[in-house]
Amino acid sequence: MPNQRQRIRIVTSALMLSNVMSGLDNTIINTALPRIIADLHGIEYTGWLVAIFLLGTAVSTPLWSKLGERRGNKLAYQLSAAMFLLGALLQGMANSMPFLLFFRLIAGIGNGGMVSLPYIIYSDLYPNPYKRLKVLGMVSAFFTTATILGPLFGGWIVDVLSWRWVFYINIPVALISIVLVQLFFKEEHKEKSVRKVDLGGAVFLSLGVVALLLGTQLLGAVNLATALLVFAAAFIFVGMLLLVEHRADDPIIPGRLFKNRPLVIDFALFVLIWAAMSSFSVYAPMWAEGLMASTALVGGMTQIPGAFTDMLGSLSVERLRHRWSEYQVILYTTWVIFFGYLLMAVAPRSFPYWAILVAGMLQGVGNGIMFNQLQVKVQEDADPKDVPVATSFSYLIRMLAMAISSSIFGVILNQHLAKGVAQSHGRITIKMLNHLSDFETRARLPRQLLPEMEQILYGAIHAIFWAGFILVAAALLIAIWARRQEKRGQKR
C-alpha cells in the first residue's frame, strides 16, 4: 500500500488529468469544428459551441465549491468529473446541433467543478505555500502542454477516426481520474456545513451570470438597445444577489470577501490581466494573417512561444518567492506583461513577425508567473473557512473577464471596420475584409485595394491592443500601490 507521500503524488497526478481534459477541450474542438458543421449543419450555432460550455462552467463553479463544503471536496470532484464524462459521451453521440449544444452545457457544468475543485484540494494537500507554488507550476505546465498539443492531436483524431472521438477521448481519462481519487485520496475529516442552503443566492447568481454572458454574446450581433436591456437584467439579478446574500445564513459568495483588502487586490489583478489576455490570443494571429499575408498555421504559431514561456514562468514561481516578497513578484511580473502589451500597442504597420513572438513571450512568462502567484495568494489572504469560495470565485471572475473583454474587443473591431468601409465610398466591403485574413481567398481580392484594406484592419487591431494595454496599465498601477503598502508595513 502506498505511503502518505506516494498517495499525495498519485492524487495530484489524478487531479492534473482534469487540467489535461479541460485544456484539450478548450483547443481541440476548434480543429474539429469544420467537420462537426459539415456533419450536423447549423453553422449559425458555431459561436455557441464555445459560449454554452463557458456558460455552464461559469454558472456552476461557485456551486461546486459549496457542495464541497457540505459533502466533501472528494465527492464533489468525482461528481463533477462524472458529469463532464457524461457530457463527453453524449456529445460524441449527438445527431444534431441543438442536441450537441445541450450536451456541451452538461459538460460545461461538470467542467466548472473539475477545474476549480482541484485548486481547493491542493490547498489541503500542500499547506506549505512554497510547496503549493511548485505543484501549481506543474499543474499549469500540464494545462499549457495540453493547449499546445490540442490542435495537433485534434487534427489527427478527426482525420484518422472521426470528430466524435474528440469527445470520446475524454472518457477513459475522466474514469482514471475518478478511480484514482477514490482509491488514494483520504480526505481529512472536516466539520460539514449544516446551515440552510442558499437557494436564492444560487438562483440569482445563475441568472446574473447567464444574462451577463448572453449580453456579451449579443454585443455587435443585435442592436445596442437589446444588448443594453440584457445587461440591465444582469445588473438587476446581481443586485438581487447582493440583497439575498446579505441575509443568507451560508451565502454562496460571502460579502466578507470584499472587506478583505489584500483579497480584493488579488481579484482586481486577476480581472484586469485576464481581460487583456484575449486581445493577444485572438488578434495576434489575425495580425499575422491579415497584415502579413501568412497562412493560418503561421498565424497560429504566434501563440507557441508564449505558451512555452508561460510554462517556464509557471515552474519558476517557487524560486522567485524564495528571493522576493509576494508583491515584489507581482510587481516585477506586471512590468513584464506591461512591456509585452506596450510592444503591440505602439507597433507600426510594418511590425516584424519576430517582434510579435517577442511580445507573446513576455506576456506568456508574465501570465504563467502571475496566475500561480495570485492563486496561492488568494488562498493565503482568505480566512481558512473562505478558501474554497475565494478559490472558486477567482476562477469565476477570470472567466467572466475574458468573456466580456472578448466581446468588447469584437465590438471595437467591427466599429473600426465599418468606419473604414464607409470612408472607402464603396470601393471596399465588409465581405472583402472577411477574406483578407484567409490566405487562399486573399489572392482573389483586387490587388490595388490591398494596401487600403490592410490599413483598415491595422487600425482596428491597433485599437484593440491599445485597449488591452490600458487594462494592463491599470493592473500595474494597482501592483505599484500594493508594493508600496507592503514596504510601509515592513518598516513598522
Using one digit for the tens of pLDDT, what is the confidence trace for 210-223? 888 778 777 666 67
Q: Of 370, 15, 47, 1, whose CA–CA distance to 180 is shortest? A: 15
Predicted confidence at residue 190, as pLDDT, reads: 62
Predicted confidence at residue 163, as pLDDT, reads: 80
CATH number of this structure's domain 254-492: 1.20.1250.20
pLDDT averaged over the chain?
84
CATH number of this structure's domain 1-189: 1.20.1250.20
- What region, left, alpha or beta, does residue 41 occupy, with left being phi > 0 and alpha being psi -120 to 50 degrees? left
Query: Average of pLDDT values for 222-232?
Result: 82
pLDDT in tens, 299-358: 777 888 888 898 888 888 888 888 888 889 999 999 999 999 999 999 988 889 999 999
Q: How are the residues of the chain apportioned to helix, strand and coil, as percentages rounded to the nearest 5?
A: 85, 0, 15
Predicted confidence at residue 298, as pLDDT, reads: 77
Predicted confidence at residue 264, as pLDDT, reads: 94
Annotated domain spans of the chain = 1-189, 197-249, 254-492
Is there a contact between 22 and 150 (Cβ–Cβ < 8 Å)?
no
pLDDT in tens, 201-211: 778 888 888 88
Percent of the chain with pLDDT over 90: 22
Confidence of residue 476 (pLDDT cuts 50, 70, 90): very high
Is there a contact between 28 and 151 (Cβ–Cβ < 8 Å)?
yes
As a whole number of Å, the end-to-end CA separation of the chain is 51
CA atoms of 10 and 340, how far apart (whole Å): 37
Which residue matches cell numbers 508600496? Answer: 484
pLDDT in tens, 65-75: 888 878 888 99
CA distances from 69 to 114, 122, 444 (A): 15, 15, 60
Query: Average of pLDDT values for 117-131?
Result: 85
Q: Which three cell numbers stand for residue 444?
A: 482573389
Confidence of residue 192 (pLDDT cuts 50, 70, 90): low
Is there a contact between 368 and 314 (Cβ–Cβ < 8 Å)?
yes
* Interacting residues of 147 by C-beta distance below 8 A, sequence separation 6+: 23, 24, 26, 27, 307
E strands in 256-411: none
**Does residue 282 or residue 256 have the better pLDDT?**
256
pLDDT in tens, 249-274: 777 788 888 889 999 999 999 999 99
Is there a contact between 18 and 145 (Cβ–Cβ < 8 Å)?
no
Predicted confidence at residue 306, as pLDDT, reads: 87
Predicted confidence at residue 33, as pLDDT, reads: 67
Question: Has residue 2 got a pLDDT over 80?
Answer: no
Question: Has residue 198 got a pLDDT over 70?
Answer: no
Is there a contact between 310 and 365 (Cβ–Cβ < 8 Å)?
yes
Predicted confidence at residue 489, as pLDDT, reads: 72
Question: Has residue 470 got a pLDDT over 70?
Answer: yes
pLDDT in tens, 99-122: 888 899 899 899 988 888 998 888
Question: Has residue 171 got a pLDDT over 70?
Answer: yes
**Does residue 147 or residue 95 have the better pLDDT?**
95
**Does residue 261 or residue 488 have the better pLDDT?**
261
Predicted confidence at residue 472, as pLDDT, reads: 96
CB count within 10 Å of CB 21 equals 26
Q: Which three cell numbers stand for residue 452?
A: 487600403
pLDDT in tens, 20-48: 888 777 766 766 766 777 777 765 566 67
CA distances from 111 to 198, 281, 369, 375, 388 (A): 22, 22, 24, 18, 16
Question: Has residue 193 got a pLDDT over 60?
Answer: no
Predicted confidence at residue 334, as pLDDT, reads: 96
